[in-house]
Amino acid sequence: MVMTTPAVPKAKTAPRRVSVLGSTGSVGCNTIDLIRRHEGSFVVEALTAKSNVKLLSEQAKALKARIAVVSDETFYEDLKDALAGTGIEAAAGNQAVTDAAARPADWVMASIVGVAGLKPTLAAVKQGAVVALANKECLVSAGDVMLSEIRRNGATLLPVDSEHSAIFQVFNFDEPEKVRRIILTASGGPFCTKTSKEMAKMSPAEAVSHPNWDMGAKISVDSATMMNKGLELIEAYHLFPVTEGQIEILVHPQSVIHSMVDYVDGSVLAQLGTPDMRTPIAYALGWPSRMEAPAPSLKLEDIATLTFEPPDFERFPALKIARQALKIGGGAPTILNAANEVAVQCFLTEQIGFLDIARVVEETLERCPAGQLRNLSEVIETDKESRKVAEDIVTNYRFGKN
| pLDDT tens per residue, range 108-127 | 999 998 888 999 999 999 99
**Residue 65 belongs to what domain range?**
16-160
- pLDDT at 401 (0 to 100): 43
The answer to whether 231 touches 156, Cβ cutoff 8 Å, is no
Mind listing the pLDDT tens digit for each residue in 175-224? 999 999 999 999 998 899 999 999 999 999 999 876 655 567 888 899 99
142 occurs within a structural domain: yes
> Residue 170: enclosing H or E segment and its boundaries?
helix 162-170
**146, part of any domain:** yes
What is the distance between the alpha carbons of residues 225 and 347, in angstroms, rounded to a whole number? 11
pLDDT of residue 7: 54
Contacts (Cβ under 8 Å, ≥6 apart) of 86:
60, 61
Would you say 360 and 394 are in contact if contact means Cβ atoms under 8 Å apart? yes
Mean pLDDT across the stretch 237-257? 96
Nearest to 137 by CA among 155, 162, 150, 119: 119
Per the structure, the count of domains in the chain is: 1
Phi/psi-derived region of residue 132, left when phi > 0, alpha when psi is between -120 and 50, beta in every other case? beta
pLDDT score, position 45: 98
CATH value at residue 111: 3.40.50.720
CA distance 354 to 203: 7
219 within domain boundaries: no
Measured distance CA(95)–CA(121) in Å, rounded: 12
% of the chain with per-residue pLDDT over 90: 86
Q: Has residue 221 been placed in a domain?
A: no
pLDDT of residue 216: 72
Q: Tens digits of per-residue pLDDT, 298-326?
A: 999 988 899 999 999 999 999 999 999 99
pLDDT tens for 347-394 read: 999 999 999 999 999 999 999 999 999 999 999 999 999 999 999 999
Predicted confidence band at 12 (pLDDT cuts at 50, 70, 90)? low
Using the CB atoms, write b or e for 321-357: b if 16+ within 10 Å.
Answer: bbbebbeebebbbbbbbbbbbbbbbbbbeebbbbbbb
Stretch 163-181: mean pLDDT: 97
Residues contacting 232, CB < 8 A, separation 6+: 136, 161, 163, 164, 184
pTM here? 0.90
Dump pLDDT digits (tens) for 376-388.
999 999 999 999 9
Instruction: Quote the mean pLDDT of the chain.
Output: 93
Q: In this structure, what DSSP letter does residue 246 have? A: G
| Per-residue pLDDT at 402 exceeds 80 | no
User: Does any domain span residue 87?
Assistant: yes
Side chain identity at 339, as an amino acid letter?
A: A
User: Sheet containing 156-159: which strands, arranged edge to edge?
Assistant: 89-92, 67-70, 42-49, 16-21, 107-110, 130-133, 156-159
Residue 45 lies in a domain: yes
**121 is a domain residue:** yes
Query: Is there a domain that residue 229 lies in?
Result: no
* Rounded to 5°, angle at Cα 3 from 100 and 221: 65
Angle at which helices 376-397 and 332-348 cross, to 10° = 40
